[in-house]
Amino acid sequence: MTPLVDGSFEIREMHMGINGRRLDGSQMAARGYTLSATDFHIVIEIPVGSPDGHYKRHAPDYQYHVTYIVEPMLEVLWRTSVSRDDARYKVLFPITTPLVLHAPHVQENTVPEARVFSVVLGPLLHDVVLRNITFFTSVLTVEESNARGFTVQEHRHSNGTKSISVSVPFAADIVLKDASEMMDAKCHFVPAYLLRFGFSDMTESFTSAES
């Protein structure tokens, strides 16, 4: 803004907003936003993850990344010292953070006494969809897995993310059993989760995680 450079002006009003809508002081404070001015700049600070923005998924090189996108608005009313005329400036400027690697985490919750393998994948963004589960001997869809007596469930969390749990009985035919010389059966279950992300600008994007 040129008037901020030459100094021949007086700022009479200064407001910020989100998505074209002005916020008052209490709304800004509740969200942790700040608006300030120096001799040369007007500064808006918005915490990453604020409720007025949203996360977007990306999969460069088949790795799960996220960015955060928010669109603040700045509105300034100033008066020049020469003409004494008021001028109003209003601009929207979308901000996108750099890519951040956010690899899915697999947590194993298996309790041997229950005779059921149990793993949880997450946290994931709300529009990530599990399509297939790759086992040692086959690749099954979620529907096929549930039909064979496995339990595949989504768990949505209050912060907008979700996790996916998979439970498979020890007795399932996809579980490899390794019998030792003592005839004690040892079960091995290493699922690979294949996720498909619903990007609007990509046909297919995949990532995988193994436990």
Q: What is the mean pLDDT of each run of 10 residues along the chain (211 residues)?
A: 55 89 93 88 90 85 85 87 76 91 80 83 80 78 88 86 86 69 51 35 34 39
Q: State the residue for tokens 């004494």.
A: 84
Using DSSP, state whether 98 is helix, strand or coil. Answer: coil
129 contacts 146 by C-beta, under 8 angstroms: no
pLDDT at residue 6 in the model: 54
CA distance 140 to 132: 6
CA–CA separation, 16 and 9 (whole Å): 20
Report the b/e string of 98-134 with b at 16+ CB within 10 A. Answer: eeeebebebeeebeeeeebbebbbbbbbeebebebbe
Nearest 10 degrees: Cα torsion 195, 201, 202, 207? -30
Cα Dmax for the chain: 97
In whole angstroms, give the CA distance from residue 69 to residue 50.
Answer: 10
Q: Are the C-beta atoms of 196 and 188 separated by less than 8 Å?
A: no
Q: Which residue has the tokens 């509105």?
A: 75
Domains and CATH numbers, the chain: 2-101 (no CATH), 105-210 (2.60.40)
